[in-house]
C-alpha cells in the first residue's frame, strides 16, 4: 500500500512525489522533495493536498560515489545517505 503524506509532515526520503489535490481542483502532478523538507500546503485546498512517493532518488551530494567538498554538503538536508542500500522505487503511475 502506498504511504500518503500530508501537508506539514517531513519528507523521510528524497525523491519525486505524486501530488493529489482535494476535489481534484487541479490535475495530479509531480514534485521533487529532499529529505527533511516539509510537505507544503496548497494555496487552494490547504491541507487537502496529499503526497505519495513515486520514486526515491538520493541527492547526488549524499551519494557515496561522489566526492563532494564537506563545506558544500548540508548534512541535515541530504541524510540519510542510503549507503549500502538501493533506493526504494515505488511503482510509477504516470
* Residue ranges binding Zn ion (CB under 5 A): 21, 42, 44-45, 49
Least distance to Zn ion, CB of residue 64, Å? 37
Least distance to Zn ion, CB of residue 31, Å? 12
Q: Which residues contact 32 (CB under 8 A, 6 or more apart)?
A: 14, 15, 16, 17
Taking the least distance from each CB to Zn ion, the nearer of 34 and 45 is 45
Q: How many CB atoms lie within 10 A of CB 85?
A: 9
Q: Classify residue 13 by its DSSP letter.
A: S
Least distance to Zn ion, CB of residue 15, Å? 21
Taking the least distance from each CB to Zn ion, the nearer of 49 and 54 is 49
Enter the C-alpha cell of residue 57. Answer: 532518488
Amino acid at each position: 500500500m502506498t504511504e500518503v503524506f500530508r501537508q506539514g509532515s517531513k519528507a523521510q526520503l528524497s525523491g519525486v512525489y505524486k501530488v493529489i489535490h482535494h476535489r481534484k481542483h487541479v490535475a495530479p502532478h509531480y514534485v521533487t522533495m529532499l529529505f527533511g523538507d516539509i510537505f507544503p500546503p496548497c494555496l487552494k485546498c490547504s491541507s487537502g493536498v496529499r503526497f505519495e512517493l513515486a520514486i526515491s532518488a538520493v541527492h547526488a551530494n549524499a551519494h557515496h560515489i561522489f566526492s563532494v567538498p564537506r563545506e558544500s554538503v548540508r548534512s541535515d538536508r541530504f541524510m540519510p545517505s542510503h549507503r549500502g542500500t538501493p533506493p526504494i522505487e515505488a511503482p510509477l503511475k504516470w
